[in-house]
Amino acid sequence: MKIGFIGVGKMATAIITGLKQTEHEILVSGSSLARSKEIANNLGLTAASSHQDLINEVDLVILGIKPQLFDDVLAELTFTKPVMSMAAGVSLDKLEELTDSGLPLIRIMPNMNAQILQSTTGICFNQDVSDDLKVLAHEITDSFGTTFELAEKDFDTFTALAGSSPAYTYLFIEAMAKAGVKNGLTKTQALDIVTQTVISSAQNLLASEDSPHDLIDKICSPGGTTIAGLMDLEKTGLTHSVVSAIDTTIDRAKKL
């Protein structure tokens, strides 16, 4: 199978890194022929002479261009092959309009952890995508992380939970590290301790049949230190703040 990338930024490069572990042939096309050759040379791939030549040659086109460039770039192209888009805010209906086609269309939403092949990726399809193409699409997204198939109406919520939430997680880690520094640790020590604990806690949750609530109960002992800290977090409104942040993120996404 030949898979072509139009636009090869950081996210597309991360996806290509995962996809190179499969047996598919990969072609790339950048903003110019010179740029395409430079990208191809750096990634050990083949460059197409133009966006249109890439479309004509491959079996699936993956759009890695920025959403604000879609109108200008796609207007000059004739699409004859299935298209996968990773652009935030570009719906399947909008993609069909821009490609002027009744082609199979796929929308994905990876997150920044694709850079370490651990992306949490949302995926949805239009009605023209066959079962075989769905299998291929999942193979692509699974090559750089974990895939969640969901209805397109839920993409804004997914984006908040998977796309924006790493920033909120980093804020939590940073706050915990500051507490460690406040109480005598170096910043490096505190960050290492908190980061490893967050990683291990997430892995424990994935491996366990327990819910987060069950695991919290297992950590808390009557009259102990953990329940005292948890009560303070509830008093200062952690749960409400997190839910409010996600709601605000979703509301903002719907306005874009």
10 marked as part of a ligand binding site: yes
pLDDT value for 239? 95
Pairing outcome for strands 119-125 and 105-109: antiparallel
In this prediction, residues 74-98 reach a mean pLDDT of 94
84 marked as part of a ligand binding site: no
Q: Three-class SS of residue 197? A: helix
182 marked as part of a ligand binding site: no
- 169-220 confidence digits (pLDDT tens): 999 999 999 999 999 999 999 999 999 999 999 999 999 999 999 999 999 9
Q: Read off the pLDDT band of 256 (50, 70, 90).
A: confident
- 32-81 confidence digits (pLDDT tens): 999 999 999 999 999 999 999 999 999 999 999 999 999 999 999 999 99
6 marked as part of a ligand binding site: yes
Q: At CB < 8 A and 24+ separation, what contacts does 244-253 make?
A: 245/168, 246/157, 246/160, 246/161, 246/165, 249/159, 249/160, 249/164, 250/156, 250/157, 250/159, 250/160, 253/88, 253/89, 253/156, 253/159, 253/160
pTM for the full model? 0.91
pLDDT at 101 over 80: no
Domains in the chain with CATH codes: 2-150 (3.40.50.720), 158-254 (1.10.3730.10)
CA separation (Å) from 75 to 47, 56, 244?
21, 16, 39
In this prediction, residues 237-247 reach a mean pLDDT of 96
Q: Which residue has the tokens 């261009």?
A: 65
How far apart are the C-alpha atoms of 42 and 29, rounded to whole Å?
13
237 marked as part of a ligand binding site: no
Which of the two residues, 31 and 190, has the higher pLDDT score?
A: 190
89 marked as part of a ligand binding site: no
pLDDT value for 112? 94
What is the distance, to the nearest Å, from the Cα of residue 24 to the centroid of all Cα atoms in its chain? 21
